[in-house]
Amino acid sequence: MTVTLEQPASTTTRDPKELLNAVAPHITELTVNVFDSGMSLWDREIALLLRDHTMVRDMAERILGNAVMYVMGSIENPDVHLGVGKLVDIGVHQLILDTPVWWGICRLYNGGRFKHHAPFIERRRDGLCLRTGEFLRSQGWPIDEELWAIDGTDCSPCDDKVPDSH
């Protein structure tokens, strides 16, 4: 018996909005919940951020954009340890919590393999957040310098056992 995994989608764009909206055809679970509003996936995730957090749309878009950059960076570079600060992590959690969208991201960009999220309790304070911002920029992502600098060395308590988690 031969099992073939899909190859991760090649990303020719570095536009987080385009990358997220491209996931729509790969969502197969709870499609009524996801698509009943008629919104694009980008607008749906922004609406959910605004529903659950006190922020203006511009900040929600900045956070979600950098979260998509981080997720894509961690998928495209599974052997590189990356981490986010508290603010960008809000967007990462938004993507993970909208599980039909998260599965679509994994299907399209991670070859159908599930990307785990298993944080530790204690925050890391070793500069990983700043190094991640620099790494993403080196990969062509238009990171929001301010969002990556806000948390500076106060990084999410992510696992350092790549590539199994981010």
Tokens 């529903």 belong to residue: 51
Q: Is residue 108 part of a domain?
A: yes
The whole-number pLDDT of residue 4 equals 44
Residue numbers of the domain that contains 140: 16-21+40-151
Residue 68, pLDDT > 70, answer yes
Query: What's the count of helices (H) and strands (E) in the chain, helices before strands?
Result: 8, 0
Q: Which of 23-27, 29-33, 157-161 has the highest mean pLDDT?
A: 23-27
Q: Comparing C-alpha atoms, which of 31, 35, 53 is closest to residue 44?
A: 35
| Over residues 102-108, mean pLDDT | 97
For the residues 124-134, what does the mean pLDDT come to? 85
Whole-angstrom CA distances from 49 to 9, 12, 56, 88 are 26, 27, 10, 12
Helix (H, G, I), strand (E, B) or coil at 25: helix
**27 domain residue, yes or no:** no
**The model's pTM:** 0.87
Q: Which residue has the higher pLDDT, 121 or 87?
A: 87
Number of domains in the chain: 1
- Report the pLDDT value the prediction gives residue 42, as an integer from 0 to 100: 98
